[in-house]
Amino acid sequence: MAVETSGKIKLNNRDNRRKVRLTKKQIIIALSIIILAAFLMVSAQLYKHGIILGNDMMFHFNRFYEAYMQIKTGDFNYFQSIFSFDQSGRIVNALYGPDFSYLQGLLMFFTKNWFRYQLLTSFLCFFIAGLAMFSLASKARVHYKFSIFISLLYMSSSMVSHYALSQNMTSWGAAFIPFIYIPAVRVIQDQERPIKPIELALAVTSVGFLHNLTLFLGILSSVPFYIVGFLRTKHKGKMIKDFFIAVFLTILLNINTLIGFLEVSLTNQLVYPKFFDDVLSYTTYFDIGDNNYSSLGMVFSCLMLFQIFYFFVSWKDTSIVERLLTLVGAFFLILSTNFIPWEDISLYTSFVQIIQFPRRFVLIAYIFLLIAFAYTLEKLTKNLNADKKKVMYSFLCMLSFLMIANVNLNILRSAEAWESDTPTSSGNNAPWVTTNDPDELRAGFTSGSYEDAFKVIKKPTPDYLPLLNDMTQEELDEQGGYQMYDEQIVNNSLDVSKTIDEKNRLVLTWKGRENQENILPTIVYTGSQINFNGKNLTSNQLQKTTLGAPIVQSKKGVNKFTIGYKPLVNIKLP
């Protein structure tokens, strides 16, 4: 990336420019702006004092409530849900960010009710996203003012704001994933020591502890950086050594999560989140409207396309980092759109079902193309005089404010539903409410007792249940997995009392009027240990429904069914 002019070497590679340390004042100003932006976006919900009942709210609120109650009571059970999900004993947190769940459980102690909890976590999601993006931009040596600008844009993107609007965990992944790219940028910038093992391990762990799919995307999109970095460095042996040290440290930091996930997923065929056949409806598209979960909107559509086109017409003036960011970003952008025949691809591979929504690929495009666009802005404004730069900065401030205001408006519209006759209209929970009285529904979330929320909305999400009796995922969707789980667990007709014993196992007791066959409202996995009326049983000795509910022969009088879980490798909570 060097050109020779008049016998001298002139570097035009931005990778070689000297790192500029930010002053404390600059850092404080940047953090203050990010905090203010995060507050402005959630302020509409604060003023409306309304809870947003988004699509994924009940599933994740159950997860976090489980962690909260285990911390509160001291009855820890790493695998089974002994307080949440209707005390079904189903395994969720061990498969889905257990450490993050317990962190959320701790936050619930401070917030005391669902409204404050939702408000605080939405604010934190926005703030962490802005902080992570600013940290990445600074590491990539982006101009200070442009670093703030792209951080604000990223905070206001649909990938981040969807948590506040729908409680979607992908947004938390989006908030943390910029940290993964800090070591990736280092690989290109620092040819003497491309990898710092602790930095890389902590970056990967920061995403791995909350969302597996986001971690997969982060690792996949980082690969080109490490390949180029390996080819450039003169210390290839040292880089390989540091890489494997980082892998080892990452495994140590995530040992509980890895063992728990592998233990359950390898010994059971699990129900995965619902796959939608009309997959093209869940892609990203370019638009001149608002930025939302499917549409890039006018600002991001123009910004991303401009960066890609400008990059190709000015290829010779770009650095290695710019090339990697733009090319990889453009690749993932295309992957997320309907320009890819996803419906045809889904006929030949189950990979699409794992991704679930191709639009998730656009997360990488948001980050990479924003950083690359900041480089472009710097080049375009380099030779402007002071007055023209003021005009440019004012325009960028206006653009940032408009995007923040757009998120504020979307949150306002969702929060307004809370006081309407249909509080669930901001999500898809309406079919699962247990009352037709909106005041009674609202009281379930504002009573001061977290568990009351699960009495007014009982959403029977079957994700991560065992899938038995040779049924496929497609057959389960056709027959209605939600309805099956609702009948067998949530609204099971058997009058069962559920308690927790001294070993933190779930105990079901009921009175049988006669010898008869019953489906119990609990879930049995391969590693489950059962005691039924004094007799120890394994999972294989029980007849079970398609979703793992045990079918037992009750006796006349009191029946007792105790279910615990014994993993192959013992896992203890820290």
Predicted confidence at residue 31, as pLDDT, reads 97
Confidence of residue 19 (pLDDT cuts 50, 70, 90): low
Per the DSSP assignment, residues forming a β-bridge with 8 are 5
**Residue 443: pLDDT above 50?**
yes
Q: Calculate the CA 548 to chain-centre distance.
A: 27
| Sequence-separated (6 or more) residues with CB below 8 Å from residue 474 | none
Predicted confidence at residue 119, as pLDDT, reads 97
Selected residue with higher pLDDT from 341 and 72? 72
Confidence of residue 257 (pLDDT cuts 50, 70, 90): confident
**Residue 22: pLDDT above 60?**
yes
- Rounded CA separation 118/43 (Å): 12
Predicted confidence at residue 345, as pLDDT, reads 81
SS (H, E, C) 76-97: CCCCECCCCHHHCCCECHHHCC
Helix, strand or coil, per DSSP, at residue 145: helix
- Rounded CA separation 163/102 (Å): 18
Indicate the range of 136-145, 287-296, 370-379, 459-468 predicted with least confidence. 287-296
178-to-71, 140, 160, 172, 297 alpha-carbon distances in Å: 30, 11, 12, 11, 22
421 burial via Cβ count (<10 Å: 0-12, 13-18, 19+) = exposed
Among candidates 134, 58, 94, which has minimal Cα distance to 371? Answer: 134
Helix, strand or coil, per DSSP, at residue 262: helix
- Rounded CA separation 440/347 (Å): 45
**Nearest 10 degrees: CA dihedral of 247, 251, 253, 256?**
170
Predicted confidence at residue 7, as pLDDT, reads 35
Please compute the mean of the pLDDT values over residues 524-550 and round it to a whole number: 95
Among candidates 338, 314, 337, which has minimal Cα distance to 326? Answer: 314
User: Cα Rg for the chain, rounded, in angstroms?
Assistant: 26
Predicted confidence at residue 260, as pLDDT, reads 86
Tens-place pLDDT, residues 400-421: 999 999 999 999 999 999 999 9
Q: What is the DSSP letter of 191?
A: S
Q: Which fold is adopted by the domain 461-573?
A: Immunoglobulin-like (2.60.40)
**Residue 215: pLDDT above 50?**
yes
Predicted confidence at residue 449, as pLDDT, reads 93
140-to-1, 19, 20, 150, 408 alpha-carbon distances in Å: 17, 9, 11, 13, 30
Among candidates 229, 351, 366, which has minimal Cα distance to 296? Answer: 366
Predicted confidence at residue 275, as pLDDT, reads 64
What b/e readout covers 303-332, taking b as 16+ CB neighbours within 10 angstroms? bbeebbebbeeeeeebbbbbbbbbbbbbbb
Q: β-strand 506-512 against 535-538: which pairing, if any? A: unpaired
Predicted confidence at residue 279, as pLDDT, reads 78
Q: What is the DSSP letter of 418?
A: G
- Rounded CA separation 430/244 (Å): 49
Indicate the range of 101-110, 272-281, 355-364, 443-452 predicted with least confidence. 272-281
- Sheet of 543-544, strand order: 516-519, 550-554, 543-544
> What is the CB-side half-sphere exposure of residue 339 using CA atoms within 13 A?
11
Query: Hey, where are the domains in the chain?
Result: 272-382, 461-573
Confidence of residue 570 (pLDDT cuts 50, 70, 90): low
Contact, 279 vs 334, CB < 8 A?
no
Nearest 5 degrees, angle CA 334-CA 180-CA 328?
25
Tens-place pLDDT, residues 345-380: 877 776 776 777 889 999 999 999 999 999 999 999
**Residue 10: pLDDT above 50?**
no
- pTM for the whole thing? 0.92
Joined tokens for residue 143: 């101009």
Q: Which residue has the tokens 């003023």?
A: 47
Tens-place pLDDT, residues 123-151: 999 999 999 999 999 999 999 999 999 99
- Sheet of 506-512, strand order: 497-500, 506-512, 557-565, 528-532, 535-538
- Rounded CA separation 375/154 (Å): 16
Selected residue with higher pLDDT from 95 and 12? 95
- The phi and psi torsions of 214 (rounded to 5 degrees) equal -65, -40
**Residue 16: pLDDT above 60?**
no
Q: State the DSSP H helix or E strand holding residue 518, giving kind and residue range, or none if neither.
A: strand 516-519
